[in-house]
Amino acid sequence: MERISDAERLSDLIDPALRGLGVRGRVREVQVREVFDEVIGPALAPMCRAISLERGVLLVGVANTALSHQMHLDSLGLIAALNQRLGASTVRRLRFSTLES
């Protein structure tokens, strides 16, 4: 028999409560922003940022179109790393936008 951890039990309680309060999406967005820099690493973090999360689509602001293209090519790995770090399938797709200077 599998043993359920305290963290899993707590998650089972918190998630429905957040949904009931209507803030679950915003909480997820903040969580994504917190782990984004860690996932992309210190070399890229100054050049891009997580802007918003809507229905599983993470909008990422990037410094230039070349970086946008490279991150698009790496998007499957980035999505997998973000979701692994978050412990849930929160991000389904990445969309990129060039940041204003």
Per-residue pLDDT, 49 = 93
CATH of the domain at 70: 3.30.300.130
State how far the Cα of 61 lies from the Cα of 2, in Å rounded to an integer.
42
Summarised one tens digit per residue, pLDDT across range 26-58 is 778 888 998 999 999 999 999 999 999 999 999
Q: Give the tokens for residue 46.
A: 């100054």
State how far the Cα of 54 lies from the Cα of 52, in Å rounded to an integer.
7
Tell me how crowded residue 47 is: count the other CB atoms within 10 A of its CB.
Answer: 14
Asked whether residue 6 is domain-assigned, the answer is: no
Summarised one tens digit per residue, pLDDT across range 63-99 is 999 999 999 999 999 999 999 998 889 999 999 999 8
Asked whether residue 87 is domain-assigned, the answer is: yes
Asked whether residue 53 is domain-assigned, the answer is: yes
Asked whether residue 21 is domain-assigned, the answer is: no
Asked whether residue 92 is domain-assigned, the answer is: yes
State how far the Cα of 5 lies from the Cα of 44, in Å rounded to an integer.
35
**Structural domain total, the chain:** 1
Asked whether residue 11 is domain-assigned, the answer is: no
Q: Which domain holds residue 81?
A: 27-98
Per-residue pLDDT, 13 = 60
Per-residue pLDDT, 18 = 54
Asked whether residue 10 is domain-assigned, the answer is: no
Residue type, 14: I
